[in-house]
């Protein structure tokens, strides 16, 4: 799965707030926007400060964030099983990169300095054949869109939470039919110390790795 990762300062109004802890669903619209990004659909609250701040999460904004291409590799285990996973129990992919670790002031549960404040956008395509599932476990926010439609909603600043999509059970809602190829978009945010977890498990039949988002002009 390929896409892009954005790094933010802890001073951003949606980062490092201490008022989280709960799952907040309904913060994004049921369908992706015309530009392929999540659309704000909630109201300002303890951990989502404003639509203006949220609209910066997955876009290049000079003076607010920095970004680079990013990808994860899902590995088959066991071999020949048709099941694939990416397991990131300490998911810190941009330590000492982009905006850096802000003077090493933010540390994980082992006391290691980390770069905590980032968002991730990933893309792929799969052929729906019947019987597929897609599962995620992690923190903080996570939204998965299938065929442009919201399929997993784990918004908010919270400890690791899990959710699964059963493609057969959700086929009508997602507008998918067996034998056809569909998009999968994943939008994630890591916004607060002291842990960062990211795990994907699936038996989807991927047909390509998506398209890396271009470098900002």
Q: Structure tokens of 153?
A: 């909603």
Digit-coded pLDDT (tens) for 142-186 = 999 999 999 999 999 998 999 999 999 999 999 999 999 999 999
Using CA atoms, how far apart are residues 85 and 29, in angstroms rounded to an integer?
A: 28
Three-state DSSP class for 171?
Answer: helix
Task: With cut-offs at 50, 70 and 90, classify the pLDDT of residue 217.
Answer: very low
Q: How many CA atoms lie within 13 A of 13 on its CB side?
A: 12
User: For residue 30, is the peptide bond before it cis, meaning its omega torsion is within 30 degrees of 0?
Assistant: no
Read off the pTM: 0.93
Q: Taking the CA atoms of 45, 151, 205 and 88 in sequence, report the sign of the dihedral they define.
A: positive
Digit-coded pLDDT (tens) for 23-32 = 999 999 999 9
Q: Are 139 and 211 in contact (CB under 8 A)?
A: no
CB-based contacts of 118: which residues, under 8 Å, 6+ apart?
Answer: 5, 6, 7, 8, 93, 94, 189, 190
Q: How many CA atoms lie within 13 A of 166 on its CB side?
A: 2
């Amino acid at each position: 799965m390929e896409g892009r990762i954005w790094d933010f300062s802890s001073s951003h109004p949606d980062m490092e707030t201490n008022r989280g802890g709960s799952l907040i669903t309904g913060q994004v619209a049921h369908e992706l926007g015309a530009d392929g990004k999540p659309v704000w659909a909630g109201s300002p609250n303890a951990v989502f400060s404003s639509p203006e701040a949220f609209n910066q999460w997955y876009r290049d904004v000079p003076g607010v964030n920095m970004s680079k291409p990013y990808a994860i590799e899902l590995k088959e285990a066991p071999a020949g099983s048709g099941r694939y996973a990416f397991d990131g129990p300490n998911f810190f992919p941009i330590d000492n990169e982009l905006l850096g670790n802000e003077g090493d002031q933010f540390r994980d549960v082992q006391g290691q300095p980390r770069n905590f404040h980032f968002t991730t956008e990933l893309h792929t395509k799969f052929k729906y054949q019947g019987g597929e599932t897609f599962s995620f476990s992690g923190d903080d926010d996570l939204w998965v869109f299938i065929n442009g439609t919201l399929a997993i909603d784990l918004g908010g600043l919270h400890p690791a939470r899990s959710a699964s999509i059963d493609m057969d059970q959700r086929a009508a809602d997602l507008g998918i039919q067996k034998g056809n190829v569909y998009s999968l978009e994943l939008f994630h945010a890591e916004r607060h110390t002291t842990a960062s977890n990211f795990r994907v498990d699936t038996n989807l039949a991927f047909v390509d790795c998506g398209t890396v988002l271009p470098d900002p002009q």
